[in-house]
Structure 1
């Protein structure tokens, strides 16, 4: 009991990780502060610069993304980064800048759409303000900003065990995906719209909410057309993963995609690569040579141009 009272007296848990994007001028301002302050520089792959203090690290990547991590994250952000670099107080003001994030709503996202190998996975998460506050304290963010699969799995576990949260997912085996792709007129967006609407209906049946947010993948309201019998306002925007509930959906979808890729890799006899690069094409060629051209649909999306190119290269060599 004494421990519980102590935790309550200490107030809400402070953030241990914070990410943001800085422009070139802001990055140079931050570099100057770190160079001239009580910080030690160290090397990080793909980083423009990185510094560490006693209880936090600051890493600025070449993309412009800055990651502050450690027990002292919140103090550094509120005392130095925001007042001296960005001039925009954001940390701790989410409910002022984005009150809609804390309303009960649905978030939807997918994983695997741009990868030759592995399934297309969609996820729908429904959550309220209490869950979002908890997630913000525990580093729930867009899955694309998280490099570690172990971290993805840990965050997925945190999302699924949060009280009052509904999580629904949908994916299918590769051969089923390739069959459905043809059924939907060889149109990935139409198939994706059906998948999103299916998981949203399932989640809505458990916990109805007034609105949902979806990362915009088409100019046409394809998902909404499948929701005429569902009384929900489904909104779309680019970079919707800034919404914590959409970010949670992106993590759940990514976790399931990674697990499916692991199973397919075992079947292929080698770790399957993500994306659709030249290296991925060469791997597809090896798989065709090993198992035959008819086996490629067991591992790959046949709608990718890379699939046909790999089959042709395997037959010519």
Structure 2
């Protein structure tokens, strides 16, 4: 079960009590102000000002209650950041049933920015797979980068242990950035920009206990590819590596694996189970997705 703790002022505690009024339960642990139970999350607020969120939806629920000052600090762009020598970091594969999670970190020095833009680098979601395959090799030869690939079997192990996907992403981003920083040394980037999937505060809470945490000059921005071209470069590299991994997995299981998590994925997963048995999905799928149950039902009906 995922656990998240935030610090709340007296005013925020009262606001939370009002917000969760219809979900508050009668039984209180020692020192608690209130306990509220919502689908996927139990919220326990303590007199000390600490608020504990527990359950599958804990990280999303906790993120709603960051203090305004924290939100502003995380969101406020730094002046002239787009012209800095920076590392950008982005991930691919978290919304796809088949295939691994791939995180890429890419370093673009300020004197490389114009060249990278001229190469056609932009957010990978705006590019076709054909364009990704054309641009990525030249880009990877031109800039320092690091990728981290989390195979499906390891992903499923982490997920079964109760690790939320947001923590998985935090661990992978930090690892890719740390490895790239080691390769760049003694060069130090002026900024490290992560395409935001969670607030900066929670990102670092997920990394507590890790031995090598990159903290200095780290920023988390929504649509970070518009903040610095290094993030767009990272998104292209991550997508390219993901496409390669999907091709490798497709060859291994003897069937083309579709991207996404739609109905075509359900049908493909069902056919794979019929061909190889249910264990095959451990190798190539993210088992906690709803697609697994749908595929099982389809396989039984056929």
- Length-normalised TM-score, structure 2: 0.67
Distance (Å, rounded) in 1 between the aligned partners of 2:103 and 2:214: 19
Q: 1:229 to 1:187 in 2, by over 3 A?
A: closer
Q: Which residue of structure 2 aligns with residue 276 of structure 1?
A: 261
Instruction: Pick the aligned partner of 2:223 from 217, 221, 239.
Output: 239
Q: 2:133 corresponds to which residue?
A: 153
1:200 equivalenced with 2:171 (yes/no): no
What is the aligned-residue RMSD (CA, Å)? 1.9
Q: Take 1:230 and 1:195, find their aligned partners in 2: how far apart are those partners?
A: 12
> Quick check: 2:200–2:219 contact (8 Å CA) kept in 1?
no
Which of 118, 121, 140 pairs up with 2:121? 140
- Matched-pair contact (CA < 8 Å) for 1:190–1:222: no
Matched, 1:169 2:154: no
1:125 matched to which residue of 2?
106
Q: Which runs of 5+ in 1 are unaligned?
A: 1-97
CA distance in 1, matches of 2:80, 2:114: 12
Per-residue CA deviations over 1:245-302 (Å, capped at 9, x if unaligned) read 0000000000000000001111222211110111111111111111111211111111
Q: Secondary structure at the match of 1:275?
A: coil
Of residues 81, 85, 88, the one that matches 1:104 is 85
Which whole-Å deviations, capped at 9, do the CAs of 1:133-171 have from their partners, x for residues lacking one? Answer: 10111111111111133x213322222222xx3201001
Q: Secondary structure at the match of 2:150?
A: coil
Q: Is the 8 A contact 1:274 1:280 kept in 2?
A: yes
In the alignment, is the contact (CA less than 8 A) between 1:282 and 1:310 conserved in 2?
yes
CA pair 264-231 structure 1, distance change in 2 beyond 3 A: closer
* 1:221 alignment partner in structure 2: 201
Q: TM-score, normalised by structure 1?
A: 0.64
The alpha-carbon distance between structure 1 residues 229 and 236, as it changes in their structure 2 partners (threshold 3 A), is closer
**Higher relative contact order structure (alpha carbons within 8 Å, sequence separation ≥ 6):** 2
* Alpha-carbon distance between aligned partners in 2 of 1:300 and 1:147, rounded to the nearest angstrom: 23
CA distance 1:265–1:229, shift in 2 (3 Å)? closer
**Residues 101 and 132 in structure 1, CA contact (< 8 A), matched pair in contact too:** no
Note the residue ranges of structure 2 that are not aligned, 5 or more in a row: 1-78
Counterpart of 1:306? 291
Cα deviation code 1:161-200 (max 9, x no counterpart): 22xx3201001322122112234x2411111110001111
SS at match of 1:108: strand
Aligned-partner Cα distance in 1 for 2:191–2:174: 13
Equivalent-residue separation in structure 1 for 2:200 and 2:112 (angstroms): 31
Give me the whole-angstrom Cα distance separating, in 2, the residues matched to 1:210 and 1:224.
19
Question: Which of 128, 140, 159 lines up with 1:181 in the alignment?
Answer: 159
Which stretch shows the higher mean deviation, 126-135 or 212-221? 212-221
1:286 paired to 2:263: no
Are residues 231 and 294 of structure 1, via their aligned partners in 2, closer, same or farther at CA, if it must alter by over 3 Å? closer
CA distance in 2, matches of 1:235, 1:253: 19
Report the Cα distance in structure 1 between the residues aligned to 2:99 and 2:203, rounded to whole angstroms.
23
